[in-house]
Structures are given as C-alpha cells and as structure tokens.
Chain A
Amino acid sequence: MTSPDLKELGGPFALLKKVLVISRATLASQFAYVGEQVVRTTFLVLILYIFTQLWNATDRFQDVREATGFSIPQLIWYLAFTESIIMSAAGIRGTSVDHDVRTGDLAYRLTKPIPYPCFQFGSDLGTRVFRFFLNLAVGIGVSLAVVGPIPLAPLAVLAAISLTLLVFVVDWIWVFSISVLSFWIEDTFGIHLLYRRLLMLLGGMLLPLEAYPDWLRSVCERLPFAYMVYHPSRLFVLDRPDGFLHAVGVVLILGIVGLIPALLLYRLGLRQVSAQGG
C-alpha cells in the first residue's frame, strides 16, 4: 500500500480511515479479476438449479408452501441470498491470516504502519463485499430465470443488506480467531470447515428454519448461527423488516464476545513470532 492516507498515524478515526482505504483498494483490485470470479459462481447456478428441481419434485407429493410457509420462488430467492453470504467467505482451505502465520510472512507485515488485524480486516472485508454483490447479482439472475420474480419490499431489502454487512464484520472476527490458532496448530482447515458447516446447517443456508422439523428448529433458534445466515436472508424475501433490530442486537453481541478470543489469541500468538535478519 503506498497510499499517503496510510502513513498518517493517530487515534481510532485515523485507523478506521486506513481500514477503509485498504477495503477500497482491495475492492478495486477485485474488479481486475471479474472473469475468474464469474466462473466461480457456476456452483451457485448449479445449486439454485438443483434446489428448484428438488422443491418442484417435493411439491408434487406434498404442498411445500403449507409445510414451510414459503412459496417455491421465495425459497429459491432465499437460497440465492444465503448462498451469496456463505460463498462470499474466504475459502476453508485457509485464509490469508493462516497463510501469513504458516509461512512467516506475518513478521514482515507487522512492520506496516497499521496493526496487522486491521490491515487484514480491511482487505478481507473489501473482497467479501465484492464477492457478495457479485454472487447476489448472479443469484438474482438465475432465480429470475428459473422461478421468476417475487415481490421485494425496498425497506426489507435494505435491512437485509445492512444486517449482512454487519454479519461480515462479526464473521471475520470469529474466522480470525480460528486462523490465529495456526500459531499452535499446523493446519486449521478442520476447524474452519466445522465452523462453515455449522453456519450452513444450523444457520439455515439450504432451508429456512420453518422447513426444519421442530426438534432441529428449536436447536437452531437457541444458537447464534441463524443470526448470521437465516435472519438476513429471511428479511430479503419478506414484505416487512420484522425482527431487524433484534437481529442487529444479537449480531452486535456476537461480535463483541468474539473480540475476546480474537484479541487474546492474537496477543498470545505474537509471542511465538521470532524474526531475525532481512
């Protein structure tokens, strides 16, 4: 980063400004690889097609709307949104933090005029926002093609996107906590995989919680994962932003709680770093 903004030192506002500069730079660099990113959305197209077939086949035997409270078009649009949230996340094969810790690049990055977590946060957030909107655009296109339009309420869509952006911040904090475990564990793939799958299943990625059997639904409602996936996506397809403030409150608490292991593990991990020479 050679932006003059990064050379400024100062308090929290200067730091926030640096983070935003990095986010903006990462976002801009993502536009250089739009073609590659579009190829990677093939999986989203595939999943939306498969689920359209699955819901149509299910509907031939049992009324899906009666069982879930959602029409088939709503279920597909819901899935487009949940998949956009999950697919915009960094690969489970390791985030850049994992890579920096494993390869020792961290020692070099610590010399930058911005705290390492803040730099990574800015960079990862820029990438994720870009991927999310790209996936959402493709998801909406496919949904329009396979099930047609559904009525969307502008206020509910705005609430869904605001909540999603907050979720990205909180998700980053938890993923960072897992990644810094690389200081002690050679490969954090297993833990990343587990976290992502918990978000997928207990977060309601493939089905809204209303489509789960009662026992699983009650489990999901007691856990935080649904606030990261189900609640923003549900807001997207409903006609009113019901439950928005409650969801924002819970996600904020999750973020504040997540800062404890993230900062603690990072500080402990830094003690493991030893750098010498150039």
Chain B
Amino acid sequence: MAGPTDTGPASRTDPASHAGHVSRTEGVGRFTVWAGFLLAYVRANLQSALEYRISFATQVFAMMLNDAMWLVFWLAYFDKFQVVEGWGRNDIVTLWAVVACGFGVATTFCGNLFRIAGIIVRGELDIYLALPKPPLPHLLISRMSVSAPGDVLFGLAGFLWIVRPDVPEVLLFVTCVLTSASILTACGIVSQSLAFWLGNAEAVGEQFSNALISFSTYPTPIFRGAVKLAMFTILPAGFLAYVPVRLFQDFSWWLLFGLLAVAAGSLVLSTFVFRRGLKRYESGNLVLIRE
C-alpha cells in the first residue's frame, strides 16, 4: 500500500483526483460523476487488496467456505427434517443466497459500514469533512471488505447451482440482493451513528449487526409475536429474509414495490440520522493519515 508521502503510482490511482477530473468534464451529469467516483474507489481498493494476493485469495475462499458450511448445515437439517413451518430446502437456499449476496455487495462497496462508530469516536471523521464530496458516501466507499467478494460469489453460485432459476427468477434475485444490500447498509449507518449520541457505541453497533444477520438467516416463520413484529420494524430482518423468499414462493407486484419502497426509505432515513448526528460531532484535532 502506498504511504502518505508517496507521489508515485498511488497518485495515479487516487480516487479523489480521478473523480475531480470526471467532474470537470463538460456534459457529464451528476450520476456519471458519482459512478466515476465509486468506480475509482473500487479500483483503488481492489489494487490495495491485490497488493497481498495470497491473503486476498485466502480470505475470499475462506468466506465462500464459511457460507457453504452454513448451507451444508441447513441442507443436513432439511435432510433430517423435511419441512419447517412450510419452508423447504430451496427456500432456505434462496434466503442464504440473497442475504449473503446482499451483505457481500454492501460491504464490498461500503467496507467502512461497520467501522463508522469507531471512526466517529476516534475523531477520524475529520478527514472526510475536509474533502469536497459528501462525508457519508465518501466514508462508506473509501474502504473495501476483502472477504466480502466471497459472500457475493457464494450467493450467486449457491442460488444458480441449487435453485436452478429461470431468467425472471434471476432478475428477481438481483433485485432482492440490491434491496437487501440497501437495507443492510441503512441499518449499519443508523446503528453505527448512535456513536454521535452515545459515545462509544461500537459494541452496541456490533450486537445490532449480529442480531440483524442472525435473525435474517433463519426461517422467519419460526418467530412469533413481539419478535416477529420487531423483525419488520426496529430490526428489519424480515425485509432481508422473509419478503424475498415470499416473492419467490408467490410473486406479487405489490410486495415487490413494497420491498423497493422500504429499501429506498431506509436509505433516506439513515442519511437523515447520520446528518443529524453529524451536527453533534466534535473534531478530535488529530493529525491523521489515511491508511
């Protein structure tokens, strides 16, 4: 990885300078500027990860195996117990594929998602506040989870290999992955932004993320009462798991539009929460160097 004073190859891949160049190009719209900014970061993050190729390959492969082991667990479970509350083998595979892929997409592009609380507490947000791009998206995309592509590859492979979908089902799968990634990102932003109010909220954010992922990777119908209500409100695991599987079981346009609305609404809400929290942020006056 290039050091802070290195003006060689690192400066040629500096995402901020690349995005600045794009923004100056005549006739290029705002969307293109953001896409260029995102792609520049993806390229820089990938180059950084590939600097340690063996480590990168090991982590991606290990994450795929990690997910595959959970899938083997569920296949073994459904081998012994054929059905749980109306859910069968294909339903649990779809659920795991959507959640793993959604999590993978979210943390591949937004690798700082579950680090926001720590960044706030340590006063490291200063770096992003001093740059011209809005701090939240910049903060999110400036890092990539090295193991996350393993989740994406696993989700795709598992879904295509075991469920054997047709073309409309593949399109539905891609849509559900994008909504899951959006909802996970929004939940991550909100739970991590609690650090603006609570101070050291790293443990709270971690427990919230663990709970969200845990509840979204088990068949939703096994939960009842208040827990089920929570899964569609404060801990929206139901929108990550239950609704996508329901769409595959019994497709409805209304349900799909509802899911898209929840995904978009959660992103808007999370941005609002972060902005409100940012007003409470106090600089640490630290001299910081970006990793």
A residues neighboring B (CB under 8 Å) = 36, 39-40, 42-43, 46-47, 50, 53-54, 56-58, 60-62, 67-68, 185-187, 189-191, 193-194, 197-198, 200-201, 206-207, 211-213, 216
0 or 1 for each of B60-72: is its CB under 8 Å from A? (1 = yes)? 1111011001101
Contact among B76, B147, B215 with A212 in the assembled complex (CB-CB below 8 Å): B76
B69, B203, B227: the one within 8 Å of A200 (CB)? B69
| CB pair B210 A190 closer than 8 Å | no
Is there an interface contact between B59 and A57, defined as CB atoms closer than 8 Å?
no
B66 touches A194 (CB 8 A): yes
Residues of A within 8 A of B79 (CB): 213, 216
Measured CA separation A185–B61 after assembly (Å)? 15
What is the total number of residues of chain B having a CB less than 8 Å from a CB of chain A?
Answer: 39
Q: How far is the CB of B1 from chain A (nearest CB, A)?
A: 11
Q: Does B249 contact A (CB under 8 A)?
A: no
A183 to chain B, nearest CB (A): 13
Closest to A202 in B: B69
Report, nearest first, the 7 A-B pairs whose CB atoms are least far apart.
Answer: A190-B62, A190-B58, A57-B222, A213-B79, A187-B55, A186-B52, A186-B55
With known contacts A187-B59, A213-B80, A53–B73 Cβ distance under 8 A: no
Cβ B61 vs Cβ A67 within 8 A: no
Q: Write the residues of chain B forming the contact surface with A, with a CB cutoff of 8 angstroms.
A: 52, 54-55, 58-63, 65-66, 69-70, 72-73, 76-77, 79-85, 146-147, 203, 207, 210-211, 214-215, 218-219, 221-224, 227
Q: How distant is the Cα of A197 from the Cα of B80 in the complex, in angstroms?
A: 21
Give the chain B neighbours of A67 by CB distance below 8 A.
80-81
- B52: A residues at CB distance < 8 A: 186-187
Q: Is the CB–CB distance between B76 and A47 below 8 Å? A: no
Give A187 to B147 CA distance when docked, in angstroms: 11
Q: How far is the CA of A200 from the CA of B210 in the complex (A)?
A: 17
Contact partners of B146 in chain A: CB under 8 A: 187
- Shortest beta-carbon distance, A43 to chain B, in Å? 5
Other 13 A-B pairs with CB < 8 A, given A190-B60, A197-B69, A211-B80: A42-B210, A43-B210, A46-B210, A57-B222, A61-B81, A67-B81, A186-B55, A189-B147, A191-B58, A197-B65, A207-B76, A211-B77, A213-B80
Residues of A within 8 A of B59 (CB): 187, 189-190, 193
CB-CB under 8 A for A43 and B65, given A185-B55, A186-B52, A201-B72: no
